[in-house]
Structure 1
Amino acid sequence: MTQFSETELTAAVIDSFNETPNPRAKFLLQELVKSLHDYVRKTDLTFEEWEFAIDFLTRTGQKCTPIRQEFILLSDVLGVSMLVDAVNHREREGATETTVLGPFYVGEHKVTPHGTDISATLQGERMFVQSRVTDLNGKPLPGVPVDVWHADDDGFYDSQKPTYATQGPSSRARFITDADGRFFFRSILPCSYPIPVDGPVGEMILATKRPAMRPAHVHFLVAAPGYEPLVTHVFIGGDPNIDCDVVFGVKDELIANIEKRSDPAMPDGKPASSPWHLMTYEFRMKPGAGNAPKPLAAKATEDA
């Protein structure tokens, strides 16, 4: 019977994938084996530690639902999501910076008229968002769908609430840019919030004494034909957690200075009943191709 030493075992497992028909799959699997085996050797991993890891990953999968993706959250807090994003967007050429999709994107949103208050039923300081989508030269891009979503004043997304299934979405919508590439809407000023800590990923963050907070932000997904899809956040300038984002998603270019205003009317001419905040941001799109991302639950349905 063949016997393997530590190094011979690794070589044998790598060689076992030699007949993989897909060259990319072969490369990825063999590199994964190398990295995993190196980790085991470097750390002198014990049976108890490996069993703990298996249990952790099992519980991570069990925590996933159609509206919650605990594996994405794990990828985010380990910095893997941002690293994958970085290696796939090395050359931005003046285009708006990208960030992670996050675990609370639920798929394409309902098209909503400009100026709609997407948080009309929620408490919070009112905010007006005015934005524009252009190419790298500043030429406006009309007819572009832009998905928007953000947390409420308590730091929760609509899909985290038990009422989501019956009451539908809030603080999320889709807008179509006008002839000048513009779109605008009303909402509430989002606040910083902790990631969900009621699952295995939260247990890891708490056990390691890491800050669990994300600075306040608004998510945007811009899908212009003839351009690379843009997945990004716009962060609220001055947020106390801007330098300790638990998912490492903050980039200087994506921080917006939010103006506190007391004008009696918002920029679209409609009255404001109280002081409000103004967010202004312009998205610059990079020419190219690609499909807008979908939540993993939607992909699983398509593959079934």
Structure 2
Amino acid sequence: MNSCNRANQPASGGLSVVDDSVAWVSGSRGYIAITRDGGKNWAWQQVKGFEKADFRDIEAFSDKSAVIMSSGTPALVLKTTDGGANWKVKYKNTDTTYFLDAMDFDKPKHGLILGDPIGNKFLLLETNDSGETWNPFKSQPTALKGEAAFAASGTCLRVIDGKILIASGGTNSRLLSWSDKKGWNYINFPITHGKPSQGSFSVAQGRKSGILIGGDYANDKKTDSIAVRYLSKPLKLLTPPAKQPAGFQSCVEFIMEDTFLSTGTPGSNITTDGGKTWSKIDDTSFNVCRKAKRGKLVILAGNSGKIGVLKM
């Protein structure tokens, strides 16, 4: 893995890889960055007027168009169509109960934003016009007491061909799934949970199976109950990994066939057998890893503007 570090830059949690050339990252203190050469060089900027915003997730469509989401108060969604030269507010909510965790699009026009529960319901916002407008999703999933989603990598939410997947943590570790035919389905998964720092942080799904990953970020060297495997159709838990990832992982990404990559503060891990066994490949601390929507480029991002490129 090749990595580079940009000193005095923010903690990066949002990452969107468009193709083998273009990728965007977002982070704290209003920072975003774009690469147009596959991660070799990055152009950083602090979005004017939003220097205190914590941009936890980003969805990019090209080197010109991207949507960024801010956690905290106010909850914000901004969009650019000119490569980041100008940003326009597309959603703003000053209600302090709103805390946005993740954003995902399955089509250029259709996407969702996940927020922490309000009352006993997770917040879900939906767009059908490429992030221009956002409205409550037609069915908000039920949250258990003390259950939450983690704004660590933007991958606790996945939208795949109209199907919605949510990885939850806190007092419970669950996979919440939605389809138009069946509505919401809730399955408990044996990932470390029970405390605010524990639970499932990320979900990724391949062609036939998926991975739920997490642990305890307050005890990130612990290797018990970090990852689980599940069959996607029908949705059910598979046998646990014979070898777990080496410590807490905040993100998991489907790469190809039976290969998944995961990353977290103790380093990065890979599986080439669908999650049956994991091997540590790097000790560098990252928060998020994402593969190109169109292409093979895999990028990782972490604190202080740290960027890595996975060489397969």
Q: Which has the higher strand share?
A: 2
Shared fold, TM over 0.5: no
TM-score by length of 1: 0.24
TM-score by length of 2: 0.23
Greater Rg over alpha carbons, structure? 1
- RCO comparison, higher one (Cα < 8 Å, 6+): 1
